[in-house]
Amino acid sequence: MNIQEEMDSILEGFLRAVPAHMPVCSLAHPKSNHVTFIRSTNYIPYLQKVEGLGISNLIVIAPDSLDLPNFKGVNYYRTHDVDILFTLYANFVHKGHLGDNEIHSSAVIDPTAVIGAEGISAADYKDERIFFRHHGNVVIGEGAFIGANAVVQRGRIDSTVIGKRTIISSLCVVGHNTVIGENCSMAIQSGISGTCRIGDRCWIGIGAKVRDSITICDDVVIGIGAVVVKDIDRPGVYVGNPAKFLREEW
């Protein structure tokens, strides 16, 4: 059996267990009759919320070696191949479908901007790398501005969000699943990687970069060319590579 046949077998086994071809959701936003996945016990708090939300029949693809508690509404599908199975299944069940963008009528978007581009996500299986198709969308709030040649990638599963009155300047990139708050500004050529959380009234300076999965609190200024590699939970000005706190006020 070659690698492609092995991957086909992994997917076919799961399809026999989920014959209704249920859609996928993220663990952060669980839904009834959906499929999601978990890699480690660090994400158990997400599962704990399922029972309180009244969710039923959430299929969670989980490592067969991971000790996970039982929760009402959660059904585990155990496998050694979590990442590749979730990728194969998501691509299969949502083939040809992209989320519809939600753009407020007052938002201003330059004609050269790209809204809903696909981000980069993949799962490895032996010598093969399988691209995870992004099926989420982009939500752009009231009074937001997206400049020339800016790129806002659509969510992997959920939404990439640009808050009210936030300004994304020319040649900027906003990665998939990132949520930017209200009244923020991204100066020219700055970039925010995927799955970041940016608070309200933040300023990302010219050429500054924010690493993936970073959280930045409200009222933060990132200086020109700075590189943010750790979460920021204190308002103020941050400069350098890696970015460090400089002072409280701009």
Instruction: Give the residue numbers marked as catalytic.
Output: 176
Strand partners, 185: 167, 203
Tokens of 206: 């010219």
Q: Cα separations (Å) of 154 from 47, 89, 188?
A: 25, 19, 20
Residue 87 zone, left/alpha/beta (φ > 0; ψ -120 to 50; rest): alpha
Contacts of residue 115, defined as CB under 8 A and 6 or more positions apart, other chains included, come to: 101, 103, 109, 138, 140, 146, 152
